[in-house]
Chains A and B, each alone.
Chain A
Amino acid sequence: MAALYCTSASEANGALSSRRDRSRSSSPMVVATPVRTPVSTAYDNPCAKVSLASGRRVLRDARHAKHWPDGQKVGRGFGQPYLQYKYARAVAMKQKTVEGRPGGGWLAKGIAPNDYINFKIPGHPTLSLVVRNAINPHAFQESSELTLQPTGRLRTACLILIH
């Protein structure tokens, strides 16, 4: 069983509110089963063993030291432009080395080498879920077998269980 996390409680509630509207169910917790399995072998294959370099610790250390590991001064941070999932994976795999964008907007603020960008990657392109059951959230929290503790701070958000 794997756990997937909603990005925020509000997003989870939004998604589940729509569901509630249709199903007239009052439970905000969902147990879901993936209905499609990714099959691609290209760089956009979500099952490929590629860790998308979030680099949060590297960035934090660099910002604390005010320079990158190679000694260059850390510039400004830009967040959070969207980047499609498949292109983000290509960046992580170092297949895509250049990101092209139209000028203006956040790029007009004077981006320069040694700045950093927090790309926001929306969605999982191939994951679709079918709802099998709903669990009362209070019962879920009180369960001795399932605990939200391993998710750390995300325990305040929605936890979706994939069988």
Chain B
Amino acid sequence: MNLTFSFLYLAQVRVRRVRTYTSFKQMIADIGIHNLLPDFKGELDDAVDLYRSFGTTRGSYRDLEKEHGAVALDVEPLEPEDTDEDNISPGPHGLTPWTPRSRASTVY
């Protein structure tokens, strides 16, 4: 029997800069494909198509782009822990397993 399990992990990043655009195309053209989609092989229009293919619970990126435009967040990963003082063993590849406590301190 094959099972595929879904594991949740958290990545906490610091926002360094916020830029708003009217479209994904404008955003990608300004920022550069490589900064947004590393390893992406394609042209600007291909990258735009990729972005528009994504979706959230609020709807597709294509529809949300028309309604709200696009936002680019310059993000900086926070340094990982050297030790685990909370006695939560790191998951595979250094990811931190999700816990209710890690969610409790954020603003929604």
- Interfacial residues, chain A to chain B (CB-CB below 8 A): 2-8, 11, 15, 19, 22-23, 30, 32, 35, 42-44, 46-48, 50-60, 63, 68, 75-80, 82-83, 88, 90-92, 94-108, 111-124, 127-131, 150-154, 160
Number of inter-chain CB pairs below 8 Å: 274
> Using a CB–CB distance below 8 Å, which chain B residues touch chain A?
1-18, 20, 24, 27-28, 31, 35-39, 51, 56, 58, 61, 64-65, 67-81, 85-89, 91-103, 105-108
Given contacts A30-B3, A46-B93, A118-B10, 8 further A-B contacts (CB under 8 A): A56-B10, A92-B77, A117-B73, A118-B12, A119-B10, A122-B8, A154-B88, A154-B99
In this complex, which of A35, A59, A83, A130 has the most chain B Cβ atoms within 10 angstroms of its Cβ? A59
A-B CB proximity, top 3 nearest: A55-B78, A103-B68, A51-B94
Contact A58 B79 (CB under 8 A): yes
Of B5, B75, B94, which contacts A4 at CB under 8 A?
A: B5
Q: In whole angstroms, how far apart are the Cα atoms of A111 and B37 in the complex?
A: 22
Expressed in whole angstroms, the minimum distance between the Cβ of B36 and any Cβ of chain A is 5
Chain A contact residues: helix, strand, loop or mixed: mixed
Q: Contacts of B105 on A, CB cut-off 8 Å? A: 60, 63, 77
Specify which chain A residues have a CB less than 8 angstroms from the CB of B38 in the assembled complex: 43, 90, 95-96
Find chain A residues with CB under 8 A from B68 CB. 102-105, 107-108
Instruction: State A53–B13 Cα separation when bound (angstroms).
Output: 8
Q: Cβ of B5: which chain A residues have Cβ within 8 Å of it?
A: 4, 6, 15, 124, 127, 129, 160
Assuming the A-B contacts A117-B15, A122-B8, A152-B86, are A99 and B95 also in contact, with contact meaning beta carbons closer than 8 angstroms in the complex? no
Q: Provide the bound-state CA to CA distance between A60 and B101, in Å.
A: 12
A5 CB, min distance to chain B CBs, angstroms: 5
Known contacts: A78-B106, A119-B12. The answer to whether A51 contacts B93 by CB under 8 A is yes
Given A11, A54, A100, A112, which contacts B70 in the complex, CB threshold below 8 Å? Answer: A100
Please determine whether B89 and A98 come into contact, CB atoms closer than 8 angstroms: no
The answer on a CB contact under 8 Å between B1 and A88 is: no
Q: Which of B2, B11, B16, B39 contacts A43 (CB 8 A)?
A: B39
Query: Cβ of B15 and Cβ of A119 under 8 Å apart?
Result: no
